[in-house]
């Protein structure tokens, strides 16, 4: 089976943060058949989608990474939508809107794939990816076989699902959307895009989305702003002017630069509110000694 693979691949150009070093092997499957073949044959691997919610170490990663963005197949049949894990959320939001289907309007501003959105139960504007889900087609890593799970078995919560346990990987998902008026659906999409542009950086300012998760009954952005984090900056990185829960890469930032700024933000909120924010951005790859120190502070396993 001829599957595209790139060796010692500089992955930063695939990430929305434009940060990341050389990865030993990066695979680009184009079908579920190729994807499952890799999952069965490779001894170890990480699976990534649009690389939009993570920091990949500037020191690289000594292992195999599978990138699913070439798995782009989707189908709209009446109000039933099926999509492979690599389909990008904004594309599906627009295509379902054109079909007069409501439920994916919130995805229009997310750069991630369906796989990533189900992994973290992405949500915005009162909608979540789990709302319209029927079932998932998954790969069980231990049994090395394809299984199916209904929505009720996916253990969805705030920014989480059963996929966080890393025992299963999404291959595709099936949804049922609501039929609606195309103009009304498009208006909602336009409002969501306008709202996002007003407060969040676009990818012309490289970023990885929200840095920290919202604490229960509160907003990470509110806490960070009250703690003065909009004025924070570091080496080639700064907190976004219009929303304190975003970090932008000013051009040549490293993963360590980002972690240093994250630590400043985390510390400011902890000192003012005695609240320890939990990162939403995932860190992947080799760590410098300083990165290890910072990760031990802000990425606490007992809080994830």
pLDDT tens string 30-83: 999 999 999 999 999 999 999 999 999 999 999 999 999 999 999 999 999 999
Based on the residue annotation, tell me whether 293 is a catalytic residue of this protein: no
Confidence at residue 94, expressed as pLDDT on a 0 to 100 scale? 96
Instruction: Please answer whether residues 39 and 139 qualify as being in contact, where contact means their C-beta atoms are separated by less than 8 angstroms.
Output: yes
Number of domain units in the chain: 3
Per the residue annotation, which of 34, 57, 123, 159 is the catalytic one? 159
Confidence at residue 109, expressed as pLDDT on a 0 to 100 scale? 84
Confidence at residue 303, expressed as pLDDT on a 0 to 100 scale? 46
* Domain final residue pick, 22, 40, 67: 67
Cβ-count burial of 229 within 10 angstroms (0-12 exposed, 13-18 middle, 19+ buried)? buried
Instruction: Please answer whether residues 23 and 252 qualify as being in contact, where contact means their C-beta atoms are separated by less than 8 angstroms.
Output: no
**Distances in whole angstroms, Cα of residue 292 to Cα of each of 12, 40, 147, 272, 296:** 20, 31, 36, 25, 6
Per the residue annotation, which of 105, 117, 280, 291 is the catalytic one? 280
Considering the domain architecture, whether residues 253 and 172 belong to the same structural domain is answered as no
Considering the domain architecture, whether residues 192 and 89 belong to the same structural domain is answered as yes
Range of the domain at 298: 220-303
Instruction: Please answer whether residues 101 and 180 qualify as being in contact, where contact means their C-beta atoms are separated by less than 8 angstroms.
Output: yes
Task: Find how far residue 131's CA is from the centre of its chain.
Answer: 18
Residue-wise pLDDT for 271-302, tens only, equals 999 999 999 999 999 999 999 999 999 998 53
Q: Token match 């054109």: residue?
A: 98
Considering the domain architecture, whether residues 91 and 16 belong to the same structural domain is answered as no
Handedness of CA 80, 29, 279, 55 (dihedral sign): negative
Instruction: Please answer whether residues 40 and 60 qualify as being in contact, where contact means their C-beta atoms are separated by less than 8 angstroms.
Output: no
Query: What ranges make up the beta strands (E) of 74-132?
Result: 74-77, 80-84, 101-102, 123-124, 127-128
Based on the residue annotation, tell me whether 159 is a catalytic residue of this protein: yes
Based on the residue annotation, tell me whether 210 is a catalytic residue of this protein: yes
In whole angstroms, what is the distance from residue 121 CA to residue 160 CA? 6
The SS3 call for residue 200 is coil
Confidence at residue 231, expressed as pLDDT on a 0 to 100 scale? 85
Low-confidence ranges of the chain (pLDDT < 50): 302-304
Query: What ranges make up the beta strands (E) of 46-87?
Result: 46-48, 54-56, 61-67, 74-77, 80-84
Phi, psi torsion values for 219, nearest 5 degrees: -125, 125
Per the residue annotation, which of 210, 255, 256, 291 is the catalytic one? 210
In a domain? residue 279: yes
* Domain final residue pick, 25, 40, 67: 67
In whole angstroms, what is the distance from residue 270 CA to residue 48 CA? 31
Confidence at residue 285, expressed as pLDDT on a 0 to 100 scale? 96
In a domain? residue 214: no
Task: Find how far residue 252's CA is from the centre of its chain.
Answer: 22
Confidence at residue 301, expressed as pLDDT on a 0 to 100 scale? 53
Considering the domain architecture, whether residues 58 and 95 belong to the same structural domain is answered as no
User: How many CB atoms sit inside 10 A of residue 40's CB?
Assistant: 11
Considering the domain architecture, whether residues 184 and 80 belong to the same structural domain is answered as yes
């Amino acid at each position: 089976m001829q599957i595209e693979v790139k060796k010692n691949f500089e992955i930063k150009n695939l990430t929305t943060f434009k940060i990341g070093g050389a990865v030993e092997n990066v695979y680009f499957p184009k079908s579920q058949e190729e994807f499952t073949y890799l999952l069965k044959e490779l001894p170890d691997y990480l699976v990534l989608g649009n690389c939009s919610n993570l920091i990949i170490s500037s020191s690289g990663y000594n292992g195999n990474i599978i990138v699913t963005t070439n798995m782009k197949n989707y189908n709209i049949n009446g109000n039933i939508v099926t999509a492979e894990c690599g389909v990008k959320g904004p594309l599906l939001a627009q295509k379902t809107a054109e079909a007069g289907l409501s439920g994916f309007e919130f995805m229009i501003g997310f750069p991630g794939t369906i796989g990533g959105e189900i992994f973290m139960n992405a949500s915005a504007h009162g909608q979540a990816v789990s709302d319209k889900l029927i079932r998932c087609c998954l790969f069980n890593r231990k049994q090395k076989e394809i299984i199916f799970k209904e929505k009720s078995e996916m253990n969805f919560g705030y920014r989480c699902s059963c996929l966080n346990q890393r025992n299963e990987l999404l291959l595709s998902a099936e949804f049922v959307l609501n039929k609606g008026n195309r103009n009304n659906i498009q208006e909602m999409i336009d409002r969501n895009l306008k709202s996002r542009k007003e407060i969040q950086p676009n990818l012309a300012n490289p970023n990885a989305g929200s840095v920290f998760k919202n604490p229960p009954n509160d907003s990470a952005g509110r806490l960070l702003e009250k703690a003065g984090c909009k004025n924070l900056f570091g080496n080639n990185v700064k907190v976004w002017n219009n929303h304190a829960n975003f970090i932008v890469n000013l051009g040549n930032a490293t993963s360590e630069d980002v972690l240093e700024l994250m630590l400043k933000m985390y510390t400011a909120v902890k000192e003012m509110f005695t609240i320890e924010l939990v990162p939403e951005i995932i860190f992947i790859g080799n760590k410098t000694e300083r990165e290890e120190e910072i990760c031990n502070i802000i990425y606490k396993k007992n809080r994830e």
